[in-house]
């Protein structure tokens, strides 16, 4: 990055440049560090070992989260080296499930400002405010308004933990430079009385902004970004369902953006469905799929699966007929009142039934939970799915782990080891009747980093549905026979950099095919994108 290299204590306080005890004697002389560090010179590997030892000795995951946030603020490259090398151990700390607790307690564990905050009081000033951000080559923005954080609801400004965590995964998982990343909190108030009565709460203490004023504020931000950071991709994250769809539909054809809850979740789920057919032996085009939950995540998955069905030769109507929704009121059918617009394509002519009776009637091959309500996949439901299918596919996708529709242990036991299981947050391996199963984690981290990397590498004008289909297909192809033998329908998280690179290449390739890329096409797309990936080694 083009900036003056700091010296002395200023250097040791710079997260970007600091190497702490790894500075060599020559560097200590050059940068006026003599006397400011202990005598020993420790390489990055030794520093990582020390950091990992400190992380592991802590009693609670939230303490590990706080430690890692502090490390990111002190020595950015060491933080990312540690995260890349130990992603399976540390991703559950910096992201789901621990980030849920971190957001709930954000105001109480706050140590150091990170990211960018916008409130209604900033209306008319957002473009000028963006000049306060020190980095000028921003390529990746994650923004939330904190209204629907994971399965935890309205956490207001505490939701800033989500953009921070997502962008850490962009850098670790896909090699997007940390200083090209901008976490944004659209602080428009909260309707969470507990937060508003907390004297430590850091957001504006007002009810949520709604209606035209809300959308005008988002419009101002989006337009300001187009001027300040014209090559930036905007990822919308954890917006409540009506606003999530409204904002995606408002900008998807004119701005480089996507909604990870709708589209990223969809690509990961579709990849899991594709991979599951390699275990079940079912043809993808023959599947019947039922969703419990009818919000943004479930509908986004259905929309992408519908597009995938259409690629097999189905009409949109035929494809939609293979997808069914149920919620707390039972099966979503055409005769129901007040069906939300995004659910209408999946409201079929059928008698109204309770969830369990709907399973008996529809006989789905795949059951996908996106409810945020723990325990909704009961023993009766799992046993019924195993009775209907030799290898039932059961996805309990709600985050964090405490909100999952069922656990991996329950699913394998209740299905007699027949189920093909995936969850949104991690579950440990399960041994049942002498066989060990590795539950698949349908985590968006498999997809969104690669999609972002591919889109910004080719400087795409927009992110198309075809790019998400390409990402899903690529991810499913990276599941090995060894993974499948363990019941896993996703590759190990340790492979996330390779997965992200493969997805980025597929996404960029699709952008060139659709004439959406503005960067000249290189002769070797894989090598070109690989060479752009951030390496935190020193």
| pLDDT digit string, tens, across residues 105-120 | 999 999 999 999 999 9
What number of CA atoms fall less than 13 Å from residue 373's CA on the CB side? 12
Percentage of the chain lying above the pLDDT 90 cut: 95
The dihedral region occupied by 233, where left means phi > 0, alpha psi between -120 and 50, and beta the remainder, is beta
Distances in Å between the Cα of 137 and the Cα atoms of 44, 130, 315 are 27, 12, 43
Provide the CATH number for the domain formed by 264-445 in this structure: 3.40.50.720
For domain 447-532, the CATH architecture is 3-Layer(aba) Sandwich (3.40)
Pairing between strand 289-292 and 440-441?
Answer: unpaired
Pairing between strand 233-236 and 140-144?
Answer: parallel
Distances in Å between the Cα of 74 and the Cα atoms of 111, 204, 273, 311, 504 are 12, 28, 41, 49, 30
Quote the tokens at residue 159: 């939701």
Residue 365: is its pLDDT beyond 70? yes
Q: What is the pLDDT of residues 23-79, one digit of tens each?
A: 999 999 999 999 999 999 999 999 999 999 999 999 999 999 999 999 999 999 999
Residue 85: is its pLDDT beyond 60? yes
Residue 1: is its pLDDT beyond 50? no
User: Given this model, what pLDDT does residue 2 score?
Assistant: 53
Provide DSSP, 472-531. HHHHHHT--HHHHHTT-SS--GGGHHHHHHHHHHHHHHHHHHTT-B-SPPPS-HHHHHHH
Is 95 in the active site? yes
Residue 268 sits at the vertex; the CA angle it makes with 298 and 376, to the nearest 5 degrees, is 40
Q: For 94-253, give the CATH class.
A: alpha beta
Is 166 in the active site? yes
User: Given this model, what pLDDT does residue 337 score?
Assistant: 87
Q: pTM for this one?
A: 0.94
* 188 Cβ contact list (under 8 Å, min separation 6): 119, 120, 145, 204, 208, 209, 214, 217
Q: What is the pLDDT of residues 260-285, one digit of tens each?
A: 999 999 999 999 999 999 999 999 99
Where are the chain's structural domains? 8-73, 94-253, 264-445, 447-532
Residue 255: is its pLDDT beyond 80? yes
Is 447-532 in the same CATH topology as 8-73?
no
Quote the tokens at residue 61: 């995951």
Q: Using CA atoms, how far apart are residues 510 and 523, in angstroms rounded to an integer?
A: 15
Q: What is the pLDDT of residues 282-321, one digit of tens each?
A: 999 999 999 999 988 999 999 999 999 999 999 999 999 9
Q: One of 19, 166, 306, 510 is an active-site residue; which one?
A: 166
Q: One of 65, 80, 95, 437 is an active-site residue; which one?
A: 95
**Domain 8-73, CATH number (from 1.20.1370.30, 2.40.50.100, 2.40.160.10, 3.30.300.180):** 1.20.1370.30
Residues 419/411, Cβ–Cβ less than 8 Å: yes
Instruction: Find the distance separating the first CA and the last CA of the chain, reported in whole Å.
Output: 15
């Amino acid at each position: 990055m083009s900036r003056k290299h700091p010296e002395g204590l200023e250097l040791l306080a710079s997260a970007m440049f600091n190497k702490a005890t790894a500075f060599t004697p020559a560097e200590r002389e050059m940068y006026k560090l003599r006397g400011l560090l202990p005598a020993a010179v420790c390489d990055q590997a030794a520093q990582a070992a020390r950091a990992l030892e400190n992380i592991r000795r802590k009693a609670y995951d939230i303490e590990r989260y706080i430690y890692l946030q502090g490390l990111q603020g002190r020595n950015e490259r060491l933080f990312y080296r540690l995260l890349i090398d130990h992603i399976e151990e540390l991703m559950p700390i910096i992201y789901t499930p621990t980030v849920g607790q971190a957001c709930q307690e954000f105001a109480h564990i706050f140590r150091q400002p990170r990211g960018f905050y916008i409130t209604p009081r900033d209306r008319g000033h957002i473009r000028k405010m963006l000049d306060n951000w020190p980095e000028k080559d921003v390529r990746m923005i994650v923004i939330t308004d904190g209204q629907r954080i994971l399965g935890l609801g309205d956490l207001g400004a505490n939701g800033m933990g989500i953009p921070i965590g997502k962008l850490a995964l962009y850098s670790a998982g896909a090699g997007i430079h940390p200083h090209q990343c901008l976490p944004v909190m659209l602080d428009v108030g909260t309707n969470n009385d507990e937060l508003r009565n907390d004297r430590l709460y850091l957001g504006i203490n007002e009810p949520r902004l709604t209606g035209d004023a809300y959308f005008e504020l988002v419009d101002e931000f989006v337009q300001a970004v187009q001027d300040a950071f014209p090559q930036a991709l905007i990822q919308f994250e954890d917006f409540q369902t009506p606003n999530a769809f409204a904002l995606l539909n408002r900008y998807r054809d004119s701005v480089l953006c996507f909604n990870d809850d709708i589209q990223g979740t969809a690509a990961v789920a579709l990849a899991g469905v594709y991979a599951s057919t390699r275990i079940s032996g079912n043809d993808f085009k023959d599947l019947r799929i039922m969703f419990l939950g009818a919000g943004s995540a479930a509908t986004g998955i259905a929309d992408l699966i519908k597009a995938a069905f259409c690629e097999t030769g189905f009409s949109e109507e035929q494809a939609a007929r293979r997808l069914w929704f149920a919620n707390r009121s039972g099966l979503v059918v055409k005769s129901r009142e007040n069906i939300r617009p995004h659910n209408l394509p999946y409201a079929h002519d059928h008698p109204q039934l309770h969830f369990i009776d709907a399973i008996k009637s529809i006989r789905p091959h795949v059951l996908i939970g996106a409810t945020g309500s723990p325990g909704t996949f009961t023993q009766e439901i799992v046993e019924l799915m195993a009775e209907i299918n030799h290898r039932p596919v059961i996805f309990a996708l709600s985050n964090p782990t405490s909100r999952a529709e069922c656990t991996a242990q329950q699913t394998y036991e209740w299905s007699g080891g027949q189920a093909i299981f995936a969850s949104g947050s991690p579950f440990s391996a399960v041994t049942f009747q002498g066989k060990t199963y590795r539950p698949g984690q349908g985590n968006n981290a498999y997809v969104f980093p690669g999609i972002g990397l591919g889109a910004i590498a080719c400087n795409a004008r927009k992110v198309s549905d075809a790019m998400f289909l390409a990402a899903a297909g690529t991810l499913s192809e990276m599941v090995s026979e060894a993974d499948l033998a363990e019941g896993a329908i996703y590759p190990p998280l340790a492979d996330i950099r390779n997965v992200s690179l493969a997805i980025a290449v597929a996404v960029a390739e699709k952008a060139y095919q659709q004439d959406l890329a503005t960067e000249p096409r290189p002769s070797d797309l894989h090598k070109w994108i690989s060479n752009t990936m951030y390496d935190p080694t020193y």
